[in-house]
Structure formats: C-alpha cells, structure tokens
Structure 1
Amino acid sequence: MLAGIRNFSKSIFAKIIFSVLALSFVGWGLNASMLDLGTSRQVAEIGNQSITPVELDRAFQRSVQNMRNVFGPNFNQQQAVQMGLLNNTVQSLVSQKIMREDARDKGIGISDEKVRDAIFASDNFKDPATKQFSRDRFMQSLYAAGYTEQEFIDGVRGDLMSQQIVGSLTGTAAVPEVMAQQIVAYRNEQRSGSFFTLNRTEFDDIATPDDATLRKYHEDNAQQFTAPETRDVTLATLSSADLVSTISVTDEEVLESYNQRIAEFQTQEKRTVQQILFAPNEEQTAKDAYKRLQEGADFMDVAKEAGMDSSVVNLGEFTANDILPDLRDATFALPEGGVSEPVETALGWHILRVPSITAAKTQSLDDVRDTVVDGLKQFKAEDAIYDLSVTFDEELGAGTPIKDAAREVGAKTYDLSGVVRGEGLAGETIDGSDEINAKIFELEGGEESLLEETANGLRYVLRVNKITPSALRPFEDVRDEVVTAWTTDERQRLMLAKAEELANDINNTGADIATTAANDGAEVKQSGLTKRDGNGLNDGVSPSVAAALFSLEDGKAKALQTSENVIIVKLDDIKAAKTDTADAAPVTDELKQAINQDILAQYLDYLNEEISVSINNSVINGLYAPAAAN
C-alpha cells in the first residue's frame, strides 16, 4: 500500500491540544533539493507562504511544553532536539502550509462564522454542567498550550480549508462488503488441536560414521568450518584518561574553576503557581473575586465559582525563566501563600497564588570539590594530550616506528594477533574498539594508518603486519567439530523422519494421537483455541503450532520442527468466524482509512511537484545551536 510512503496524523491543533476538527499531515519528507534559501532569514518558504523564526519557535516551545506533561518538568529543549521533536515541528508546519497553499490556489475560503461554529462545537471548550461553550475554558486551554487566541483561530481556519480538499478526495471511498467479510473470516477463524513432542531418548546413541562420510560433510558444509580472515596489528593509543592520574591541581586552580562553573551548582528558585483566569472584559469580576480572597475566601472555592476545575487552576512549578513573561513579576513578588491583585495579559485577567516556594540554592565548594577537581584534571589532561598528539604525529611523519614514537610521548602499545572483522581487538578492552577494528580492515597488509581519533577522543595509530586470508580449516583440525555437527543434523533428520511417519499413520489409518504419543513415551497436550496470530494458545505453546494448525485439513496431522524438538500436531476443531455487519465494521473502517491514506499520499506527491518547498537549515541551526550542540 502507498500508505507507507507518507505517515499522516491529526493536526498539531487537534493532536497537541484538544481534537478540534482539523486534519493535517506531519510526514512530509524534507529532501536535499529543498534545503536552499540563499540569504533569506525565514525558516521555510512554501509557495507564497513562509514560516518565520518566531512562528517555528512558538510551535517548538509548545511541543516541548507538551512533552513536559509526559516526561515531567525536567524535560528540556536539548532533549527535545535530540529526540527529533524540532524536525517534527518543522515538518508539521510545512505540511499545514502546503495544504493551505493548495486550498488558496483553488479559491477555498472559510468564513468567520464557520470557524466560530467549529470552535464552539468542541466538547473541550464546553462547561461540564451546562454543556455550552465556555470562554473561560477556551482561554485557559489556549493559555495552557501556549497559544494566543488569534494563533488558534488562524490555525483552525487553515485546517478547515485543508479539510475541504481532504473531504473531496476521500469522501467517496467505499469498501465492498464481501471483501470486508472475507477478511473478517480469515482473521477471526479459530482452531484447536492436539500435539506431542517426540521422545528424544531413542536418538541419543548415534554411531559416528567413517571418515569418508565426515570429510564429505566437512566439504558440503564448508562455511561452517571456515576460519574468517584475521589480521595481526601493532596499535598505539594516546588518551587523556591515561594522563588524568598524573595531573595535579592547586587550591587556587580549584577555586577559580569552581567560580567559573558556579552556574552548574546553582538551583534556581521555583514556585508552585495557581491561577484564576477571567476573560478580558471581566476586569470588575476579577477585582470582586480578589476582594473576596482578601476577606478570607478559599482560593479553590472562588476558582470553582468562576467555572475552573483544579486541573486548570494548578499550573505547576516554575522558575522565573519558565513562566509566562507577563506573569513573572507578579508571581515572583508574592510571599509563600500570597495572592496577587488581578494581572492583565492578552489572555485576560489573572489572579495568582503561590502555595509553596523552593528557595534557590548554591552548593558550596566543599560539596562539589571532587566534581570540580575531576573536571579540572580532565581539562588539563585534554590540553596536554593535544601537545602530545602533535609531537606523536611529527614523530610518525618523520618515519619513526610506531612503538618508538609511542615511547616518546607515553602512549600505550599493543601487539594484536588474530583480529577478526567486527569482533573487537582480539580480547583487548580499548575505548572505541569498534572504530579501530573498522580502520584495521580498511588497510592493506604492511600499511600504516594516519594518527586517527575515535568519537570519544582516543588518538591512535596502527599498522597491519600480517593478513591471514579466510580459508576452510583442515579436516584434521576440526574433526571433533565435524562429528558434533554431523551427529546433531543426523539426530534431527531421524527424528523428523519418524515424526512424519507417525503423522502419516494418523492421517492414513486414523490412529489415535493419544495412543501414538503413549507408544512413544510422550504426553499429548492441547493447543487451546487460537487465531492465526497465536492469540489464544495455551501457556508455553510455541506460535509455530498455531501456524501448523492453519495449514492442516480437519482431523489431519503433520510433523513440525521447533528448535531442537520435533512435534506432531493434529487439527481437532475449526471454529468459523462470524461475518455479520457488526463484525465487519472495524475492518471496513480500517480498509477505508487505508484507501484514503493512499489517495492522500498520491495527492501530496503531486503537490510536492507543484508547490515549491524550501527549508533554511542555517536559520534553524542558528535558533537552536546551543541546544543542538550540547
């Protein structure tokens, strides 16, 4: 299906906030041809539209905040970038813009009345008691998600425009009833059977064949007895970690380093914040509520009277950098338990309360001395390793043998024998061994590498002294291994042959499976009533038993090999699935969704050719360079 080409999901407005009515597409692929905006300072240009840095940042910060609701308040921007959330935000914005561009090209417009109706129809904005639209809930929801009212309205309008196109493309998709019913019958059919595991004891004593047979097995299975290519290597490594123990630091250096890193050891003041939010035209109502609070009314009672439940009132814990800037001064001027006078923002009138305060804290030098000393030694070691690396490189460039050059700078040396591709460094535990192993197999015999550096900063140089090609090991050297392998294969062959004989006996003579099992010293077990995917199998029953049952005719048996065991399985019962309308409805919906996604994927491919999309990575990197670099 073409659905694999693009992944579609609900609009950023619907998915991240409250499932309004929108649909947009976030699987837009950004290929190399799109990444060129010259000297433009926009994040992206899509046809006649653009994504500004401010627009991207607001959307990204909303995404980060929503992730904090999942992972907790310590989830930060750096983690979001590492998880790909920034890229997803860019893709989501591009996807919305390109659909809206197409809608505008087709002359599609959405009236203010339709936007209003869409917002008013959302259950998320309705008062639970009256079931009517509540502006308080609407504004509080936008505030919690980081939207201004105009941003949200524009977003809904754009998504409704896109829906006009989506609906025209997918509204006529239909699934034949007979197709859905056939799929239901296939998926929901259930089967049960009996099985037993063949007794292995009679195959324990298998005579070892003559050498002629073993030699032929050795040749026929050459790959199993072939030694991989190996390499003998001289390796020298230079690491700052090896120098740390030799580095000394003074008290003055420790104090200076502590002062330079003081921000790392400071915890900002945090405040738990509650609020009651009133609409922009309700200043007097807010003042009346504040007066009641001053007279001793309970904050939560007043909030409930204003139509706000606790989940909306309790905003969480904030530092001064985290809270909405318009509320920062009022929040951080309050004492613990204090309540603010009404504060006006673009969202309306806020009454704030600070139930608790976690004071700022700075760890003393004594508390973090070990951390500071370790960091300082590491820094000095890194500084020293650079100078040593230059000397090392100069020695090597002058033709000095690796071991002699290593001795000059105190590098470690290793003589590695029998290094195998992809299998480390012949038992030596060295940082970056996988990278060094890959470098070893880039070189020819007698060739020496340049001074290289692993991802973790280990400097190294190596020389491939000898290459031993891959070759079939002589029979005499591996005779015992050949005997073991031949015996294992022969046991499996004999067991499978007997199992097939027993299964044929059941099929041809109607032999009872329980009697057959008893004669073999085994016990019959029941599979359980299972579907094709193994759902319904009894505990401990291999999924391969389910597969076998669905390959058999009723009452028939077959031999089945599972790992080292051989099983005889007999189909006892078939329970056909119901295929009425109710059973087929979920399948019909699934098929219709798949058809719609195929249609939309093809249409987006078409738009990709018709509407230009340019992404400016330099602007994106400039916005988030500190987070991306950490």
Structure 2
Amino acid sequence: MMDLMRRAAQTWAAKLLLIVLVLSFGVWGISGTVMNGIGGGDAVVKVGNIDVSSNEFRLAYRRDLAMLSQQFNTQLTPEQAKALGVEQRVYSQLASSATLDQLAENMDLGISQDELAKTIGSDPAFQDSSGNFSRQTFQSTLANAGMTQKDYIADQGHAAVRRQIVEALAGGMQPPVTLVNATLQHENATRDVEYLLVTKDMIDPIGDPSDKQLQSYYDAHKSDYQASEFRKIAYAALTPQTIADPGSVSEKQAREYYEQNADQYGTPERRTVEQLSFPDQKVAEAAKDKLDEGTSFEALAKEQGKSADDIKLGTFSRKDFPGKNLAEAAFSLKNAGDTSGVVKGAFGPVILKVTNIEAGNTKPFDQVEGEIRKQIATQNAGDRISDVLTSYQDDRAGGASLVEAAKKEGLKPVVVDAVNRQGETPKGKKLDLPKQGELLKAAFDNPQGEEIQPLNYGTAGYLWVEVLNVDKAHQRPLKEVRDQVASDWKAEQTDKAVAAKAKAIRKKITGDTTLKAVADELGVGLQTKQGIKRSGGDAVFGDAAVAAAFEGPQGLVAVAPAANPPEQIVLHVTGVHNGTQQGYDALPDQALTAMTNRMKNTVFGEMVTMLQKKYGVSINQQLGQQAIQQY
C-alpha cells in the first residue's frame, strides 16, 4: 500500500497538488467543512509575534490528511501519513501562514467587514440547498467544531489579508518565453527505437521454493502478511427520511398536494410559437384583418422584411412562457397552425402563431400516491427530529445499546460484522457507508463499549456509531499464508530471472553484434516504435522504458522494465528528433498553468524564507506530536 502511495505521490498531478498545498493553507485559511477548534496559549509554531496553537496545528493536520486521503481514495492511517511527510508539510504550511500574518501586522493591512461578510457567505459549507447563506447552518457547523464565531471570523480576516499579499507578489505572473520554448523542446522531443521484449517465456520455469527459502522470504517480508485491525460496528441514522411515516398521510392530503403540484408528475404540454410585432394597435388590427381574409402569417412576415428565424419565438410550456397574457393566448389556440388575435406584448401589440404542439403527459394520482405520501411524511418528520434525538439520548443514558435505542425509536440500525480503517471487509470488499471517512474515524478512534458523540448527517440529521468488537492487527503466521508467500516468492524469482536475461542480451550487443542479430539468434521478432514522447505514455514500454530511451544519443542501447512485469525491454535508439514548436500558444493551458504556479510558489517561497530569517521561527515538535495523538 505504501509503495503504491509513494509512486502515486511522484506523479506530476500529485506534485502539483503538493505545490499548491504549501501555498494554499497560508493563503486561503480554514474552510468551514474542516473546522476543529482554534485557540489556547500553547504554541506549536511561532514566527515573530505570531503563535500557532496546538489546536490550530491539529486542524491543519486534519485538513491535509483529509485532502490526501481523498486523492488516494482511502482513509490514510497515522503511519501512512508519517511516511508521506504530512506532519512536516503541515509545520511548513503553518510557518508560512504565520509569516504572512506577521508581515500583514507590520504593514498594518486589513479587510473591510463588508468584504469579509461576502467571503464567509460564499463558503459552500454554510449554504443551504438553494446555494444561499444559512445562518443556522453557519452557527451549527461552528458549534459542532467547538469554535466561536469570533475565532472563525478572525481567521477568515487573516486569510483574506494573506491573499492580498500573495496577489500583490505573484498576481499576473507569467513564465518567460525562453523557459516556455525550452519546455516545449523538452516535451515535444521524440525518439525512434527498435526493441526486444524479454518475457518469462524466455527463461526456465521457476520451481517451488524449499521450506528454507519460504521461511527466509516470509521473514524478510513480514509486513506484507499482517492482518489489519478489524472492528465490528453498529450505526444508525436519524434524518427526516428515516423517521418519516407515509402511512400517517391521508389520501385527502396526498390528493391536495398532487393537484397543487401536478406539473411535477409528468411532462407539461409545450408549444412552438412564432410572433409578429407591430408598432401600434391600429397596424396590428389591420394585419389581423388580413389574416382573417386569407393572407398567410409568413406573407405578413415577408411584408415586414423578416425571415422565419426572425419571427420564431421558441418552444415553451405554459409555465415557462414569456409573459402570462402571451401564454394564455398561445395555449388557448386549439390546433397547430392557428393564429391569435392582437395581444398586448411587453413592447407593443403582437400576433402569435402556434406551429407545433407537443402533448403533455401527467401521471395519474394512483401511480404517484406512494411517492407523494413519502414526500409529505418527510417534510412533517423534520419537526420531530429534536424529540426523537432527546428520546434516543434518554434510552442510551438508561443503559440501552445503540441497536436497542435505535430500534425503540423506530430507526433501522445496521451492524457491520468486520471492517478495517480503509472501509474493507476481511475479504477485501469495499463497503459503502454513510459519511464513511468520519464514521470510520470515529469507530477506530474510540474504544469498544464507549458512547461516541453523534456525527452531523445532512442538514438536520445525526449519525451514531458504536464499536461492538475489536479484532486487533496481528501478524499472520506462515502456515496461514503459505500459498501466498510461495506465489510471491516465485513472482520475485521470475522478475529477477527475466531481468538477468535482459542484461545478458544487452551484453551481447557490442561491436558488430546488433540487437537484430541477437533477436535472430534467439528466434524472436525485433519490433520498432517511432515518435516516442517523454510524456506520451506507452502500453508496452511504460514510464521506465520511455525514460531509458531519452537517456542518451542516437545509438544508445539500454535495458529497462516494461509496462507489464516481469517483462523487460532491451532497446536501441535509432532516431533522435528535437521539438520545434515555440511560443505560449504552443504550450497546453494546463502545462502553462502548472509552470506559472511553480514560478509563483518559488517566488512565494523565497519571500517567506527571507522573512522567516528576519522574524525568527521556532517549532515545538513535542506539542505537535501530542496534537496528532489527540486527533
């Protein structure tokens, strides 16, 4: 797992993410989605007069860990986070943040209350389902985080000022054209190669390992055969949906709702309409007379010098039609081809013509009655959340387990027999749990039998979890994993034998002995590839062999792992072609953005380093470790 993460962290996307992370925390501040109490007199990081408390450090660590967990699509353990350097990166981020705050203090920078209010109001964490700022959500989110409004507003004020500094320093920055051209030449260079694919079919079969070999391999790779900790948990959700009682809604209530919201249960009738506009009522009525006498609508349009596109108004339902009186006129016409009388439009009199009618389709009440009852019941249930919460808490205080209390309150508890911190069963199946990251963290950070504080669920709900049993991580004995160890040993030996075969082939290519001659001697075909690029990717070569092709001039012979282990590539570079494109337009937007961000980060980093030498920086790693352990 860790090898996979380390490889993933070396990709350009991950490197760019880490570059942005260094800058982003100091600039953007704390999002309402990841808050966890700020304050206290202990300083994990100190820059000049600015102190960063252990609570602030814990929050930043949590934020960074959550972002990386999302990138790797798994909840990282503390050990994995340490191996990836999360702790050290957080120290760097907070030191950068504090440095900017000290600079802002020295420069007496600030932000207006109105601008700060706009910034906070635009945070999605505090918005309702309509995208509007919700004071109730704002207050409940802060309360759940154990953070005061005053602390959060102060933090956002600091973040806004940091943005001012960074924008003043690096805003509008663009890499020089010399760098762009050098990048283009590097990225667009290509190689032509001939190559031999060395496979396991070209070596002697690997036999089964002896007991001694098996034991030796197992002892050297014990960490690969550990059983992770699994826990049996129960969880239950309290939301309007989980306590809604559709049976309590009468047929009369359901029918009334259906009649008031009929357009929700089908496709409304739509009409395609053309419109002729007139300067005044008299001209419009004269045109209407012509229509009644047999003149076509199109002929009138032609008299006005208008084309078919000019008079087309569009296709609308009654509800979406532009103007209530126009909608009434258009939908009062019985058939396609009919024209209206003179109608008062927004900018003068008009005459309408319906050219097409798309019939509507409304589902009968019987088909949607169940859906309507459920919807009404869910709306009604929102008022009962507080009562059920109180009753549930009383049940638990009286000694009931989560499952017992949930069932008593009409909820549906779920028991998971075994799950690890990554959300997997012992057989490796990925589970889909509500608020999976937070739920598993709560389940694995608390001991068996202890009542755990509920998680916020949705806009007005709660999610409880309880640990029922713990099967601690342990080393699986050799006899339990013997078959797997034997398979892994044979795979390793195969890799080594194929690599040795490839190196032996490479040694034969000297003087007049060509790669083709060796291929003919082995009785295998020599293959070719043209136009290989550094970043193009190749299903046969893989990254290592592509990189090897660029390690020397024309005539280079090299050996590298192929894309599919244990295969190896023995290659001969037959052609070298340098990139010729130049200028900003030739560089993809994504690459230009990445280059610009790297430049900004470099300039930002140099400024921060200079200021930190001036202000002085101290880091209390002991306090930092304590904060991580509390997390």
TM-score, normalisation: structure 2: 0.54
Distance 1:436 1:517 in 2: 58
Structure 2 partner of 1:573: 575
Match of 2:525 among 510, 523, 526: 523
RMSD: 5.5
Distance 2:430 2:188 in 1: 55
Tell me if the contact between 1:403 and 1:413 (Cα under 8 Å) persists in the aligned partners: yes
Distance 2:344 2:364 in 1: 40
Q: State the one-letter code of the partner of 1:355.
A: T
Q: State the one-letter code of the partner of 2:526.
A: V
- Secondary structure of 1:318's match? strand
Distance 1:350 1:489 in 2: 83
**2:268 pairs with 1:262:** no
Match of 1:315 among 310, 313, 316: 313
Structure 2 partner of 1:53: none
Cα offset, 1:351, TM superposition:
4.6
Structure 1 partner of 2:536: 534
Cα offset, 1:421, TM superposition:
0.8
Tell me if the contact between 1:230 and 1:470 (Cα under 8 Å) persists in the aligned partners: yes
Tell me: CA distance 1:260–1:307, structure 2 relative to 1, closer, same or farther (3 Å): same
Tell me if the contact between 2:423 and 2:430 (Cα under 8 Å) persists in the aligned partners: no
Tell me: CA distance 1:30–1:510, structure 2 relative to 1, closer, same or farther (3 Å): same
Structure 2 partner of 1:511: 513
Distance 2:211 2:311 in 1: 85
Q: State the one-letter code of the partner of 2:489.
A: W
Q: Deviations over 1:164-193 (max 9, x none)?
A: xxxxx99x99976x7666555444443322
Distance 1:383 1:471 in 2: 48
Tell me if the contact between 1:558 and 1:570 (Cα under 8 Å) persists in the aligned partners: yes
Tell me if the contact between 2:246 and 2:376 (Cα under 8 Å) persists in the aligned partners: no
Q: State the one-letter code of the partner of 2:586.
A: V
Structure 1 partner of 2:586: 587
**2:505 pairs with 1:496:** no
298-307 vs 520-529, which moves further: 298-307
Q: How does 1:192-591 map to 2 (within 5 A)?
A: 192-203=192-203, 205-209=205-209, 213-233=213-233, 249=247, 253-266=250-263, 268-276=268-276, 296-300=294-298, 303=301, 306=304, 309-325=307-323, 327-328=326-327, 331-332=330-331, 334=333, 336=335, 337-340=337-340, 351-358=351-358, 363-372=363-372, 391-402=391-402, 405=405, 417-423=417-423, 432=434, 434=436, 436-450=439-453, 454-455=457-458, 461-506=464-509, 508-534=510-536, 546-561=546-561, 562-564=563-565, 565-578=567-580, 586-587=585-586
- Secondary structure of 2:504's match? helix
Tell me if the contact between 1:249 and 1:376 (Cα under 8 Å) persists in the aligned partners: no
Tell me: CA distance 1:532–1:499, structure 2 relative to 1, closer, same or farther (3 Å): same
Distance 1:212 1:288 in 2: 107
Cα offset, 1:559, TM superposition:
1.9
Cα offset, 1:458, TM superposition:
8.9
Distance 2:211 2:309 in 1: 80
Q: Deviations over 1:365-401 (max 9, x none)?
A: 3343444466578789999998776544322211235
Cα offset, 1:198, TM superposition:
1.0
Distance 2:275 2:490 in 1: 77
Cα offset, 1:573, TM superposition:
1.9
Distance 2:229 2:570 in 1: 43
Cα offset, 1:560, TM superposition:
2.3
Tell me if the contact between 1:180 and 1:587 (Cα under 8 Å) persists in the aligned partners: no
Tell me: CA distance 1:494–1:445, structure 2 relative to 1, closer, same or farther (3 Å): same
Q: Deviations over 1:482-507 (max 9, x none)?
A: 2322221221122123213323433x
- Secondary structure of 1:509's match? coil
Q: Deviations over 1:319-377 (max 9, x none)?
A: 34423338555545555434456767676775532223456665433343444466578
Q: State the one-letter code of the partner of 1:587.
A: A
Q: State the one-letter code of the partner of 1:228.
A: S
- Secondary structure of 2:531's match? coil
Tell me if the contact between 2:423 and 2:431 (Cα under 8 Å) persists in the aligned partners: no
| Fraction of identical pairs, as percent | 20
Tell me: CA distance 1:344–1:502, structure 2 relative to 1, closer, same or farther (3 Å): farther
Q: Which runs of 5+ in 2 are unaligned?
A: 1-15, 18-26, 32-109, 123-127, 133-170, 605-631
Give the paired residue count.
Answer: 443
Tell me if the contact between 2:541 and 2:569 (Cα under 8 Å) persists in the aligned partners: no
Cα offset, 1:589, TM superposition:
11
Tell me if the contact between 1:431 and 1:458 (Cα under 8 Å) persists in the aligned partners: no
Tell me: CA distance 1:284–1:239, structure 2 relative to 1, closer, same or farther (3 Å): closer
Tell me if the contact between 2:540 and 2:564 (Cα under 8 Å) persists in the aligned partners: no
Cα offset, 1:420, TM superposition:
0.9
476-485 vs 427-436, which moves further: 427-436
Q: State the one-letter code of the partner of 1:481.
A: Q
Q: Deviations over 1:258-300 (max 9, x none)?
A: 222333333655332223467xx79998777766655545545
Q: State the one-letter code of the partner of 2:450.
A: E
Distance 1:591 1:453 in 2: 37
Structure 1 partner of 2:613: none
Distance 2:282 2:507 in 1: 91
Tell me: CA distance 1:549–1:477, structure 2 relative to 1, closer, same or farther (3 Å): same
Q: Deviations over 1:496-537 (max 9, x none)?
A: 23213323433x3353323323444532222233444438x7
Distance 2:202 2:543 in 1: 27
Tell me: CA distance 1:549–1:270, structure 2 relative to 1, closer, same or farther (3 Å): same
Tell me if the contact between 1:238 and 1:412 (Cα under 8 Å) persists in the aligned partners: no
Tell me: CA distance 1:347–1:595, structure 2 relative to 1, closer, same or farther (3 Å): farther
Cα offset, 1:479, TM superposition:
3.5
Cα offset, 1:257, TM superposition:
1.4
Tell me: CA distance 1:249–1:329, structure 2 relative to 1, closer, same or farther (3 Å): closer
Tell me: CA distance 1:225–1:310, structure 2 relative to 1, closer, same or farther (3 Å): farther
Tell me: CA distance 1:290–1:545, structure 2 relative to 1, closer, same or farther (3 Å): farther
Distance 1:396 1:519 in 2: 79
Q: Deviations over 1:60-99 (max 9, x none)?
A: xxxxxxxxxxxxxxxxxx99969xxxxxxxxxxxxxxxxx
Q: Which runs of 5+ in 1 are unaligned?
A: 6-27, 46-55, 57-77, 83-168, 606-630
**2:224 pairs with 1:190:** no
Structure 2 partner of 1:623: none
Tell me if the contact between 2:243 and 2:411 (Cα under 8 Å) persists in the aligned partners: no
- Secondary structure of 2:536's match? coil
Tell me if the contact between 1:175 and 1:591 (Cα under 8 Å) persists in the aligned partners: no
Distance 2:443 2:174 in 1: 58
Q: How does 1:79-228 map to 2 (within 5 A)?
A: 182-183=182-183, 185-203=185-203, 205-209=205-209, 213-228=213-228
TM-score, normalisation: structure 1: 0.54
Tell me if the contact between 1:238 and 1:459 (Cα under 8 Å) persists in the aligned partners: yes
